[in-house]
Amino acid sequence: MANPRGTTVINGTFHSPKTQHSKWQSTDGVKNGIPKEAQQNRNPRFSDKPIFESYPEPPLYVFVLTYMGYGIGTLFGYLRDFMRSWGIEKCNAAVEREEQKDFVPLYQDFENFYKRNLYMRIRDSWNQTVCSVPGPHIDIMEKVSDDYNWTFRHTGKVIKDVINMGSYNYLGLAVKYDESMKTVKDTLEKYGVGVASTRHEMGTLDKHKELEELMAKFLNVEAVMTFGMGFATNAMNIPILVGKGCLILSDELNHTSIILGARLSGATIRPFKHNNVQNLEKLLRESIISGQPRTGRAWKKILILVEGIYSMEGSIVNLPQIVALKKKYKAYLYIDEAHSIGATGPNGQGVRDFFGLAPEDVDVYMGTFTKSFAASGGYIAGKKELVDYVRVHSHSATYATSMSPVIAEQIIRSLKIVMGEDENQGEKHQTIGAHTAFGRHLLKKKIGVVVVGFPATALAEGRARFCLSSAHTREMLDKVLEVVDKLGDLLNVKYFPYKKSGHPALHNEKSFDKEASFDEMSIEPEA
Amino acid sequence: MATVAEQWVLVEMVQALYEAPAYHLILEGILILWIIRLVFSKTYKLQERSDLTAKEKEELIEEWQPEPLVPPVSKNHPALNYNIVSGPPTHNIVVNGKECVNFASFNFLGLLANPRVKAAALASLKKYGVGTCGPRGFYGTFDVHLDLEERLAKFMRTEEAIIYSYGFSTIASAIPAYSKRGDIVFVDSAACFAIQKGLQASRSDIKLFKHNDVADLERLLKEQEIEDEKNPRKARVTRRFIVVEGLYMNTGTICPLPELVKLKYKYKARIFLEESLSFGVLGEHGRGVTEHYGISIDDIDLISANMENALASVGGFCCGRSFVVDHQRLSGQGYCFSASLPPLLASAAIEALNIMEENPGIFAVLKKKCQHIHESLQGISGLKVVGEPLSPALHLQLEESTGSREKDVKLLQEIIVQCMNKGIALTQARYLDKDEKCLPPPSIRVVVTVEQTEEELERAASTIREAAQAVLL
């Protein structure tokens, strides 16, 4: 049997894939949707020295079948479009007004092709309606479609106690209201919900100051500035740091908000291969040597944009090497810790803490409060001059409403818990351990996961994502593993079965326990 | 058997080669040679400077010095000495330790301190906690979001509404979802910064027309028509949009919507209306500028507003026909790639909507107060009122500028400080000087809310008058 591309060496032993013949019928077939093979979870494997991350690729036939599936789906799409335009098939989509039929069409035909024909079939995998706290268990409102996913209606029934592997609740701080949230309730009653003004005008409350000081203490930096939305924090603050004549080196898998911020800044953008330090160094050298394109003038600044943890890949940034590079070539480093703040590092201070680097090593820290702190909003942290500059020039501070005081109080409360200042909560342990057919079956078994496909990931790289939370108990995780195991067999999507070790621990993209040593972590049988 | 078949195939191939016409063979030969050349040629990289020696390259790297990441900021910059509000930013506000009447927060309907709104938010807090921990597509859609969208659509009498978690991102994500590179957008020159950012992200052709000047817009549209006739194929795929605000934040004026709708049908451009200031203010029931003018809501392609002014919550929404709005569920960046609105803020907005629907009388009250203050502020020596009598957010600009923007800002700030000392909280309208396309002149922002009594309005007017006299004369 031919070896798959990218044979991997884990633990010094050589693993070969199961030689399984995958039949068409084992996946959902074309009728129900595009077979999105759920790939194995990306398991970052840690050792104390160079980070060794293994991304075994599935065998070649999987790629071929996936592309074939898309191809057939596209053909069917053309056929149905044809039938619809000739009136043979009923068109359920919304249409343009009669009075505006002679306007230039609002959408290009092809733009909507993907949406109409491929996305519609599997639309029910997303946008589940939740009606409870997004904690370890979640209640989902049942949704059915009478017309093949064009419209949905709620039956009124509630699927209770689904194990929630889809929400970003890493520290388990999204809980049903209890006495510990009294401060949040008091803030709500005293301040109300809204602010109705910007930070520069009348929107800076004493709560914001309190939050910023506490956050600066937590992160061990000189100053912090907070904003009302995490996405907007990137999109509105990267343009003020760099402009025309500057160079941005951005990881190719960066989040949309970072890409939008980089584009709005007007600087030259050059992507480097994901987490590939050699490629980054090569780009740095070439850029400094050749200068700006066409004029050859020297670059004003070089900014490297990376994320702490990449949510779609589950990989951690190679921070020590990138910091060494940036010092050598005098570039600036901007790190987006949306997923890693609170969840990585011995004190929850993010990837910098995780690698044990000094706070001055990174120039700009950015993060969001949505994931680990169960609130919303974002922040920028760093030296006082940087934060002062951001306070004065940020688009968000000048034109956008400031954060709601209730949200600010929730973040203060979460911070205190994470910092261990709150006696009532004790230490929050970060427990670790370990496609659409996949998602649907899992929901039937009352486990909620996130299924991602094109265009958020590459065409043949659809995946199911499991988000761990410290609120998940051992029983829940065992149940999930069991179900995933059975489903994997049923759907024939197990490509790399690894041996179960004595401590089956679920790997995930975030959450690394300060106590468990890395040797204990082992790789479990994936989906 | 197999070999015979193979031979037979070979014979056929050779025969075909002989029988093919000459030009065919020559063409194929050229193509094959071209492919071989492409495969073996070196890729030309613009960045490689192969004429430098390794030593020179090292020197270049050594010598290169970047600018500091951020230039130093003067300590006296007003944004570093911001007003700190202790306690809630409601009608009676404590700014920098002084108790004042609030004339600076956009709390038009006074709902920031409304007990019903707070109770609804509290109920939501108890049921859902604070954050949603996910974007709308991945377990971040809560039943309160769907409720709010339904209620907003019903209130505005449109087919569908979509909510965003941040007011600024609403219009900044909506515009690039429809308008792409190559499309044309006609936008008013006084458009707010969020619209400007949305336009920048869309990479379309931007054509500015003079503020509220329909004739100027028509001129631009006519010019575009002439261009279209030269290139009809391109014109058939170029979308056109007109982006205006209902009530302009920067000037306090209302857009001439009926004329714009006429232009829309004449020149086939779609209208995007930004109603952050006019939602919950204009119109008999607070439905905005379309109700104010009596225009059918279907004539406007997309209405976008934020919930941070009249609705006293956080976030924004877009409403319109399903054909238009539904597109944003997959293409609105601020919707797909960002966590959803915390449920307690959504519940607060629903309750605020309830209050608006139950008391349609407050809009008339607000209108009267706006007219009152507009009259009272007339005739202040040195300051002129910019804004319509209907607008709850007015500007007071210097009648005669000193010539330098910095000095103007300082003078206005002194007036404000004096007013604050007498218990009237005001603020200057803040802009990013270098980033605005058409920077408005410095001004004092005066905001009217339903909670302000007649006496307070009078007091504010007289305080400003005295302060202006003291500072400017």
Q: What is the pLDDT of residues B201-210, one digit of tens each?
A: 999 999 999 9
Chain B residues whose CB is inside 8 A of the A395 CB are 168, 193, 197, 432, 435
For residues A159 and A278, give the distance between their C-alpha atoms in angstroms, rounded to a whole number: 49
> What average pLDDT does chain A have?
74
Around Cβ B46, how many Cβ atoms within 10 Å?
9
Q: Which of A90-99, A383-392, B8-17 has the highest mean pLDDT?
A: A383-392
Q: How confident is the model at residue A507 (pLDDT cuts 50, 70, 90)?
A: very low
**Closest residue on chain B to A126 (Cα):** B137
Q: Which whole-number Å values give the CA distances from B179 to A103, A356, B301, in the listed order?
A: 14, 46, 13
Cα-Cα-Cα-Cα dihedral sign, residues B173, B174, B180, B182: negative
For residues B191 and A154, give the distance between their C-alpha atoms in angstroms, rounded to a whole number: 40
**Cβ of A200 and B143 within 8 Å?**
no
Q: How confident is the model at residue B74 (pLDDT cuts 50, 70, 90)?
A: confident
Nearest to A389 by CA among B16, B77, B434: B77
Give residue A90's pLDDT.
63
Chain B residues whose CB is inside 8 A of the A373 CB are 131
Where would I find the H helices in A22-124?
29-32, 60-85, 109-113
Q: How confident is the model at residue B136 (pLDDT cuts 50, 70, 90)?
A: confident
**Cβ of A388 and B80 within 8 Å?**
yes
Nearest to A452 by CA among A440, A442, A461: A461
The fraction of chain B above a pLDDT of 90, given in percent, is 59
For residues A152 and A479, give the distance between their C-alpha atoms in angstroms, rounded to a whole number: 30
Give residue A89's pLDDT.
65
Q: How far is CA A509 from the centre of its chain?
A: 9
| For residue A365, pLDDT beyond 90 | yes
**Cβ of B322 and A94 within 8 Å?**
yes
Higher pLDDT, B407 or A460: B407
β-pairing verdict for A13-14 and A9-10: antiparallel
In angstroms, the separation between the Cα of residue B238 and the nearest Cα of chain A is 7
β-pairing verdict for A332-336 and A364-368: parallel
Over residues B432-440, mean pLDDT = 87
Chains A and B form CB pairs within 8 A to the count of 358
| For residue B283, pLDDT beyond 70 | yes
For residues A174 and B140, give the distance between their C-alpha atoms in angstroms, rounded to a whole number: 13
Contacts of B409 (CB under 8 A, 6+ apart): B78, B428, B442
Give residue B275's pLDDT.
93
In angstroms, the separation between the Cα of residue A188 and the nearest Cα of chain B is 7
3-state SS of A294-335?
CCCCCCCCEEEEEECEECCCCEECCHHHHHHHHHHHCCEEEE
Q: Which of A410-419, A445-454, B227-236, B330-339 has the lowest mean pLDDT?
A: A445-454
Over residues B349-353, mean pLDDT = 94
> What average pLDDT does chain B have?
89
Query: Which one of A155, A193, A222 makes the best mutation probe of the B interface by having the most chain B beta carbons within 10 Å?
Result: A193
Q: Which of A276-280, A504-508, B263-267 has the lowest mean pLDDT?
A: A504-508
The pTM (predicted TM-score) of the whole model is 0.81
Q: What is the pLDDT of residues A143-152, one digit of tens each?
A: 787 777 777 7
**Can you state the angle between helices B405-421 and B454-472, rounded to 10 degrees?**
130
For residues B412 and B78, give the distance between their C-alpha atoms in angstroms, rounded to a whole number: 12
Q: What is the pLDDT of residues B395-430, one digit of tens each?
A: 999 988 888 888 888 889 999 999 999 999 999 988
Q: How confident is the model at residue A61 (pLDDT cuts 50, 70, 90)?
A: confident
Give residue A455's pLDDT.
54
β-pairing verdict for A378-382 and A447-448: unpaired
For residues A478 and A200, give the distance between their C-alpha atoms in angstroms, rounded to a whole number: 51
State the Rg of chain B over Cα. Answer: 30
Q: Which residues of B83-115 are buried (b: 16+ CB within 10 A; e: fewer)?
A: bebebbbbbebbbeeeebbbbbbbbbbbbbbbe
Q: Which of A414-418, B104-108, B146-150 has the lowest mean pLDDT?
A: A414-418
β-pairing verdict for A309-310 and A302-307: unpaired
**Cβ of B166 and A405 within 8 Å?**
no
**Closest residue on chain B to A284 (Cα):** B61
The answer to whether the complex's ipTM is over 0.95 is: no
DSSP SS3 for A78: helix
Over residues B137-166, mean pLDDT = 92
- Residue A96 has its nearest CB partner, among B71, B193, B323, at B323
**Closest residue on chain B to A103 (Cα):** B268
Q: Which whole-number Å values give the CA distances from A493 to A23, A66, A298, in the listed order?
A: 11, 12, 51
Q: How confident is the model at residue B279 (pLDDT cuts 50, 70, 90)?
A: very high
Chain B residues whose CB is inside 8 A of the A264 CB are 197, 200-201
Given a contact cutoff of 8 angstroms between Cβ atoms, the answer to whether B315 and B349 are in contact is: yes
Chain B residues whose CB is inside 8 A of the A398 CB are 79, 193, 430-432
Chain A residues whose CB is inside 8 A of the B427 CB are 197, 201-202
Over residues A464-489, mean pLDDT = 75
Nearest to B166 by CA among A209, A255, A254, A194: A194
Chain B residues whose CB is inside 8 A of the A293 CB are 46
In angstroms, the separation between the Cα of residue A395 and the nearest Cα of chain B is 7
Residue type for position B219: R
Q: What is the pLDDT of residues B438-450, one digit of tens each?
A: 899 999 999 999 9
Cis amide linkage into residue A455, ω under 30° from 0? yes
| For residue A44, pLDDT beyond 60 | no
Nearest to A8 by CA among A498, A502, A510, A526: A498
Q: How confident is the model at residue A210 (pLDDT cuts 50, 70, 90)?
A: very high
- Residue B89 has its nearest CB partner, among A188, A195, A373, at A195
| For residue B142, pLDDT beyond 70 | yes
Chain A residues whose CB is inside 8 A of the B312 CB are 192-194, 196
Give residue A71's pLDDT.
83
In angstroms, the separation between the Cα of residue A370 and the nearest Cα of chain B is 6
Give residue B229's pLDDT.
92
Given a contact cutoff of 8 angstroms between Cβ atoms, the answer to whether B444 and B395 are in contact is: yes
Give residue B139's pLDDT.
83
Q: Which whole-number Å values give the CA distances from A415 to A135, A211, A367, B10, in the listed order?
A: 18, 9, 14, 78
3-state SS of A383-446?
CHHHHHHHHHHCHHHHHCECCCHHHHHHHHHHHHHHCCCCCCCCCCCCCCCCCCHHHHHHHHCC
Give residue B137's pLDDT.
83
| For residue B461, pLDDT beyond 70 | yes
Cα angle vertex A339, ends A335, A344, to 5°?
A: 90
Cα-Cα-Cα-Cα dihedral sign, residues B459, B461, B462, B465: positive
Q: Which of A25-34, A104-113, A323-332 has the lowest mean pLDDT?
A: A25-34
Q: How confident is the model at residue A510 (pLDDT cuts 50, 70, 90)?
A: very low
**Cβ of B431 and A231 within 8 Å?**
no
Which residues are A309's β-sheet partners? Answer: A316
Which residues are B254's β-sheet partners? Answer: B247
**Closest residue on chain B to A186 (Cα):** B122
Q: Which of A130-139, A288-297, A406-415, B303-312 has the lowest mean pLDDT?
A: A130-139
Q: How confident is the model at residue A463 (pLDDT cuts 50, 70, 90)?
A: low
In angstroms, the separation between the Cα of residue A115 and the nearest Cα of chain B is 9
- Residue B337 has its nearest CB partner, among A97, A202, A255, at A255
Q: DSSP for B290-340?
A: HHHHT--GGGSSEEEEETTSTT-SS-EEEEE-HHHHTTHHHH-HHHHSSBP
Q: What is the pLDDT of residues A147-178, one digit of tens each?
A: 777 777 787 788 887 777 777 777 777 777 77
Where would I find the H helices in B165-256?
167-178, 193-202, 214-230, 232-237
**Cβ of B60 and A169 within 8 Å?**
no
Given a contact cutoff of 8 angstroms between Cβ atoms, the answer to whether A58 and A39 are in contact is: yes
**Closest residue on chain A to B89 (Cα):** A195
Higher pLDDT, A342 or A253: A253
Q: Which of A230-234, A293-297, B159-163, B297-301 has the lowest mean pLDDT?
A: A293-297
Q: Which of A42-56, A61-75, A96-110, A205-219 has the highest mean pLDDT?
A: A205-219
**Closest residue on chain A to B159 (Cα):** A94
